[in-house]
């Protein structure tokens, strides 16, 4: 049961910033001829994995999805907003906030941020 994804402007900016940081880190690593990936590269890889899991199955156990009360639903007041884990057991672990909608079989990514 695959969902199509919509992105809020904030989520798009968050994703692009993480991607750009990963690309810059990769370029620097390659210029210095280092093999080990940087933290920025690893974080972006985790974000991509989380987005793919969310799109395929928002109830995937690896996402550890649960309701989050501090954000408002962008389309329907009173509807649920969800939090999915990008990282765990990491200082400042990243989370992806999302909701269902606005249409059937759609998920809207609200934000990708360090754990509040």
Output the pLDDT for position 1. Answer: 59
Q: Quick one: angle between helices 9-31 and 39-56, nearest 10?
A: 140
Lookup: tokens for 89: 């057991």
Contact 56, 65 (CB under 8 A): no
- Quickly state the pLDDT bin for 5 (edges 50, 70, 90): very high
Residue 109 has pLDDT above 80, yes or no: yes
Q: 3-class SS at 29?
A: helix
Average pLDDT, integer, range 20-43: 89
Lookup: tokens for 58: 């928002």
Count of domains for the chain: 1
pLDDT per position as a tens digit, 32-75: 888 888 888 999 999 999 999 999 999 999 999 999 988 888 88
- Structural domain of 52: 4-114
Domain CATH code at residue 17 = 3.30.2310.20
Output the pLDDT for position 34. Answer: 86
Nearby residues of 5 by Cβ (< 8 Å), 6 or more positions away: 51, 54, 55, 106, 107, 108, 109
Output the pLDDT for position 37. Answer: 82
Q: What is the pTM of this model?
A: 0.91
């Amino acid at each position: 049961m695959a969902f199509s994804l919509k992105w809020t402007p904030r989520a798009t900016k968050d994703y692009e910033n993480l991607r750009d940081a990963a690309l810059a880190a990769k370029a620097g690593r390659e210029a210095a001829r280092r093999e080990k990936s940087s933290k920025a590269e690893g974080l972006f890889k985790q974000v991509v994995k989380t987005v793919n899991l969310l799109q395929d199955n928002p109830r995937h156990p690896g996402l550890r999805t649960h309701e989050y009360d501090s954000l408002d639903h962008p389309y329907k007041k009173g509807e649920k907003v969800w939090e999915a884990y990008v990282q765990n057991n990491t200082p400042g672990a990243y989370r992806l906030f999302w909701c269902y909608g606005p249409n059937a079989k759609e998920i809207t990514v609200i934000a990708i941020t360090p754990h509040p």
